Amino acid sequence: MLRLVGRRLLATIPTLFGVLVVAFLLLNVVPGDPVAEMVGERADSATISRLRAELHLDDPVPVQFGHYLWGVVRGDLGRSYITQRPVLGDLAERFPKTLQLAGAAMLLAVACGITLGVLASIRPGGWIDRFSMLIAYVGVSFPVYWVGLLLILLFAVALRWLPPSGYGGIAFLVLPALTLGMRSIAFLARMTRGAMLDILPSDFVRTARAKGLGERRVIGWHALRNALLPIITVLGLDVGNYLTGSILTETIFSWPGVGRYVLLAIQKRDLPAIQGSILFLSVIFVLVNLLADVLYAKADPRVAYD
Amino acid sequence: MLRHLLRTVNLFDTAKRVLFLCVLAACGGRTGGGGQAGGRGLVYYERDDPRSLDPALSTDVTTGEMIALLFDGLTQFDGDGRLLPALSDRWTADRTGQRYVFHLRPGVTFQDGRPLVAADVKRSFIRVLNPASHGGRVWPLLPIAGAADFAAGRAPDVRGIEVLGDSAVAFTLTEPLAIFPKFLAMPVASVVPSSVPTDFGQHPVGTGPWRFVAWEHDDYLRFAKNPNYWGGAPLGDSLTVRIIPEALTRAAEFQAGRISVVEVPFGETKKWEQEHPDWLKRKPALRAVYVPLNNRRGPLRDRRVRQAINHAVNVPEILRTVWNGRGALAAGAIPPTLGGSDPARLPYAYDTTEARRLLRAAGYPNGFSLQLWRSGTNVEMGRVAQAIQAQLAAVGIQVEIVSRDASSMREAVRKGDTDMAITDWWADYPDADNFLYPLFHSASFGPGGNYSFYGDRLTDSLILVARRTVDQAAREALYRRIDDRVFQAAPWIYLWFPVDLWAQHPSIDGWDVSVIFNGQHWTKVRVAPGR
């Protein structure tokens, strides 16, 4: 297992390098001028050309890339053109908040999604099944943006149970976590139901029942464990997506996370902030995928990587 | 098999427990600014985090509004855009308007207790002009003699700034400039203490009405009143500025009583006007919504074509329907509340017959096609663009709408690569000059603000003459003349001057809409007693 992890970690280096190259090239092709965003609506051309020179924006692209790469190797992601603060510090400040939101959303998704899926699979076609599949349809089909605003209007404006937006205690977490986790709840419920329906007719499930185990133990212990593989796949992808920031949810709920940071950086053509974020988020994504692979092997001993 | 299963179980339990503890720890750790923003304090909001709290980096509205709370310049604007004394309580100009002496208000101290001296003014301006500050918005200081050389690294000092003892500072300008005192009210011309730490942008110290307390990026900024403020301490004790990017979320926050004021969202105008007329406050903004017609491209080079386009667009209709009537029709580029606007001038009449006649006269009886650029993120402007497209089609002009993100569009417009673009102009300083020099002088082509690339020698020289004219009435007469001349040449589709519509929560009083972004100081606002 250690060898697997080590090998996979080594393999991430070319991946990340590739990400950097592509990001750098793309940002050079995309229209929009970072200096124009720095100077605002009205500027004199002398200031613009001075800033371009200071930021080495007139250097050839390979030279600029070399500059940047050298910084990255030393652990320096540069400073934001707009705020002049170090990008790494900005990300470190926001990532825990994204992690918190992602964690809450995931927790909600696992708790609700798997429960709904398992309950639905026990009596296919029964009312619980129909109800949970309805929820799953709704969750997959409704746009995040719309659901978020609706939740705000209901729970914050009409009922006044929860604050509409902002970052703070657990009360602030409920609505954004629900909005963000909704899709996963729906997806996991369908996934779990499907996997369970495949597993339940198996011989070993019949054996478990035959040897006199309670239904609860048969379903929760024997069947569910064997249905976990596809669930881990879905979870792994979702965690990766959530941890890289969810622009819509963070924007609607004024959540000070990574997603909004990246969005603003892109809008302002803040090159160091965009590149730094892409690199940082790629690392997170790669790590989460690695974790999911390790969990595969743990959940199903038949999965062998060596 | 069993061994594997047990290991799996443990792993999952541990993972879940860790996740749960993480969430618990993160949640329980603090009750954030958002949580306590309501209560008894004043709460304002911004769309985005400010760039910095360092006046030298103030290039955008958000940052400028924050700087206006913490710092003062030698002069300032009030909410109606009037120029008032600030750190300087009186100033004199020589007869040519080329040399100014500003006398400092006695007894002013910074929030850290240091007294304000004239040398601070010079050091502050030098600091902004210094290339090491990476400022980007030095233009309000460039009229000072030697400032441009210093900013370009060609001179060791700015010779036009002269410190006269501890209590006065004199400025010699490269040429007479009647509106120079207004330039000094810009955020970038704020006065900062003599020694400034490297993290000044995060821990600012100024002379302004509010003292910096805390800043959680993308979340909130908190200020406390400066009890020693020279203009009298603010009536409120604390001011929180929350960062809320989404307009409908802001409306919900306002309705939940957690922010003190809110700009009424566009789509909700009618609803709020009907349900809460007592909350609403209106004020004509110093802002023009217009479509620059690139005067150097294709058929748009012909003034008759540009006039025809103005006649072909039913502006009153679009203003009423798409813009919810929140504006006043434009018959010129100078907003009606500024000296130099001409209330007698009539907008281009909606007259498709006249438009067709002009197009025929210009040699385009069968019309032509054009591109109209819009920013994809600005929904209202996009709808206006669609209306313009439909109406121009009626006179034979085929319009293709090009939707790009704001930054790409700005770059294309500044390079002159667009036929038309729907955009707006917010005043930097409340003066007709700010709607003429940047928008129509040939020195402002592109990045300077002249997106229509309208170039006219007489207009250029009249604008400069007006800048040098000290007598206010004579200056305003010149502005009327310039505005009229430009209006006849129709370098834009003249649309409207928006009227700002805000709601003030019943829990506070004393607030009013400010026509200029840095005219809002929050000093007269307080939490209403007993409400």
* pLDDT tens string B279-321: 999 999 999 999 999 999 999 999 999 999 999 999 999 999 9
Counting other chains too, the contacts that B273-278 makes at CB distance below 8 Å and 24 or more residues apart are B276/B503, B278/B506
pLDDT of residue B183: 96
pLDDT > 90? residue A237: no
The CA distance from B332 to the nearest CA of chain A, in Å, is: 20
The CA distance from A72 to the nearest CA of chain B, in Å, is: 23
Angle at B340 between CA B336 and CA B342, to 5 degrees: 60
pLDDT of residue A304: 63
The CA distance from B185 to the nearest CA of chain A, in Å, is: 17
**Pairwise CA distance, residues B134 & A51, whole Å:** 7
Q: Which residues of A touch B49 (CB under 8 A)?
A: 83, 264
pLDDT of residue A2: 78
> Among A61-75, B82-96, B260-274, B367-381, which stretch is predicted with the lowest mean pLDDT?
A61-75
Confidence grade of residue A305 (pLDDT, cut at 50, 70, 90) = low
Residue A225, burial from CB neighbour count under 10 angstroms (0-12, 13-18, 19+): middle
The pair of structure tokens assigned to A232 is 């881990």
Contact yes or no for A182/A139 (Cβ under 8 A): yes
pLDDT > 60? residue B23: no
pLDDT of residue A245: 66
**Pairwise CA distance, residues B16 & B175, whole Å:** 71
pLDDT of residue B511: 94
Confidence grade of residue A213 (pLDDT, cut at 50, 70, 90) = confident
Residue A195, burial from CB neighbour count under 10 angstroms (0-12, 13-18, 19+): buried
Q: Which residues of B touch A296 (CB under 8 A)?
A: none
The pair of structure tokens assigned to B421 is 């673009």
Highest mean pLDDT of the ranges A62-76, B39-53, B343-357: B343-357
Mean pLDDT of B488-495: 97
Cβ separation A100–B23 shorter than 8 A: yes
Distances (CA, A) of B428 to A121, B21, B257: 64, 50, 32
Cβ separation A171–B35 shorter than 8 A: yes
B47 vs A123, more confident: B47
Confidence grade of residue B10 (pLDDT, cut at 50, 70, 90) = very low
Contact yes or no for B391/B348 (Cβ under 8 A): no
Phi, psi of A162 (to 5 degrees): -130, 155
pLDDT > 90? residue A233: no
The pair of structure tokens assigned to B317 is 């209709």
Adjacent-strand bridge partners of B423: B290
- For chain B, helix, strand, coil in percent to 5 are 35, 20, 40
pLDDT (tens digit, 9 = 90+) per residue, B242-267?
Answer: 999 999 999 999 999 999 999 999 88
pLDDT > 80? residue A27: yes
Q: Which residues of A touch B3 (CB under 8 A)?
A: none
Please report where in the chains the tokens 């349809």 appear, as a residue. Answer: A137
Confidence grade of residue A211 (pLDDT, cut at 50, 70, 90) = confident
Could you tell me which residues come within 8 angstroms of residue A169 by beta carbon, excluding any fewer than 6 positions away?
B27, B28, B30, B31, B32, B35
| Beta-strand relationship, B220-225 and B210-216 | antiparallel
Q: Which residues of A touch B448 (CB under 8 A)?
A: 42-45
Q: Which residues of B touch A46 (CB under 8 A)?
A: 148, 151-152
> Among A51-65, A134-148, B16-30, B200-214, which stretch is predicted with the lowest mean pLDDT?
B16-30
Cβ separation B447–A152 shorter than 8 A: no
Mean pLDDT of B216-221: 96
pLDDT of residue A277: 92
What share of chain A in percent tops pLDDT 70? 98
> Among A9-13, B70-74, B327-331, B416-420, which stretch is predicted with the lowest mean pLDDT?
A9-13
Please choose, from the candidates A78, A94, A79, A260, the residue with its C-alpha nearest in 3D space to the C-alpha of residue B52: A79
* Closest chain B residue to the Cα of A162, Cα to Cα: B256
Mean pLDDT of A256-282: 92
pLDDT > 50? residue B1: no
pLDDT > 60? residue A110: yes
pLDDT > 50? residue A137: yes
Q: Which residues of A touch B444 (CB under 8 A)?
A: 42
pLDDT of residue A306: 53
Please choose, from the candidates B93, B144, B142, B77, the residue with its C-alpha nearest in 3D space to the C-alpha of residue B338: B77
Length of chain A: 306
Considering the entire predicted model, what is its pTM?
0.89
The CA distance from B165 to the nearest CA of chain A, in Å, is: 32
The pair of structure tokens assigned to A254 is 């004024």
Cβ separation A169–B28 shorter than 8 A: yes
Confidence grade of residue A42 (pLDDT, cut at 50, 70, 90) = confident
pLDDT > 80? residue A258: yes
Give contacts of A 161-180 with B, CB under 8 A: 163-173
| Beta-strand relationship, B492-504 and B287-292 | antiparallel
Mean pLDDT of A173-192: 90
Phi, psi of B221 (to 5 degrees): -120, 145
Q: Which residues of A touch B57 (CB under 8 A)?
A: 83-84
Q: Which residues of A touch B248 (CB under 8 A)?
A: 149, 152
Q: Is B522 left (phi over 0), alpha (psi -120 to 50) or beta?
A: left
pLDDT of residue A205: 85
Q: B463-502: buried (b, 16+ CB within 10 Å) or exposed (e) per residue?
A: bbebbebeeeeebbebbbbbbeebbebbbbbbbbbbbbbb
pLDDT of residue A227: 84
DSSP state of A97: H
Distances (CA, A) of B31 to A49, B26, B27, B100: 45, 10, 8, 51
Mean pLDDT of B408-435: 94
Nearest Cβ partner for B57 among A35, A84, A107: A84
pLDDT (tens digit, 9 = 90+) per residue, B382-395?
Answer: 999 999 999 999 99
Q: What number of CA atoms fall less than 13 Å from residue A288's CA on the CB side?
A: 22
Nearest Cβ partner for A36 among B4, B218, B447: B447
pLDDT of residue B181: 96
Model ipTM?
A: 0.89
CB of A267 within 8 Å of a chain B CB? The answer is yes
Q: What number of CA atoms fall less than 13 Å from residue B25's CA on the CB side?
A: 8
In a 3-state reduction of DSSP, which class is residue A201?
coil
Distances (CA, A) of B49 to B5, B34, B46, B369, B514: 49, 14, 7, 41, 20
Cβ separation B219–A256 shorter than 8 A: yes
Cβ separation A168–B34 shorter than 8 A: yes
B124 vs A234, more confident: B124
Q: Which residues of A touch B255 (CB under 8 A)?
A: 157
The CA distance from A134 to the nearest CA of chain B, in Å, is: 28
Q: Is B97 left (phi over 0), alpha (psi -120 to 50) or beta?
A: left
* Kind and range of the H or E run holding A178: helix A170-199
pLDDT of residue B528: 83
The CA distance from B458 to the nearest CA of chain A, in Å, is: 22
DSSP state of B424: E
Cβ separation B448–A264 shorter than 8 A: no
Q: Choosing among B36, B198, B218, B440, which should be mutated to test the A contact, i.e. which has the most A CBs within 10 A?
A: B218
The pair of structure tokens assigned to B246 is 């989404």
**Pairwise CA distance, residues B529 & B531, whole Å:** 6
pLDDT > 50? residue B331: yes
pLDDT > 90? residue B230: yes
Contact yes or no for B489/B198 (Cβ under 8 A): no
The pair of structure tokens assigned to B207 is 């002379």
CB of A104 within 8 Å of a chain B CB? The answer is yes
Q: Which residues of A touch B183 (CB under 8 A)?
A: none
B428 vs A9, more confident: B428
Please choose, from the candidates B151, B154, B111, B102, the residue with its C-alpha nearest in 3D space to the C-alpha of residue B128: B151
Mean pLDDT of B1-8: 40
Mean pLDDT of A17-32: 87
Adjacent-strand bridge partners of B88: B104
The CA distance from B375 to the nearest CA of chain A, in Å, is: 11
Contact yes or no for A222/A202 (Cβ under 8 A): no
Mean pLDDT of A189-198: 90
| Beta-strand relationship, B42-46 and B238-243 | parallel
pLDDT of residue A41: 74
Mean pLDDT of B227-243: 95
Confidence grade of residue B20 (pLDDT, cut at 50, 70, 90) = very low
The pair of structure tokens assigned to A95 is 């990532």
Packing angle of the helix pair B457-468, B472-489 (nearest 10 deg): 160
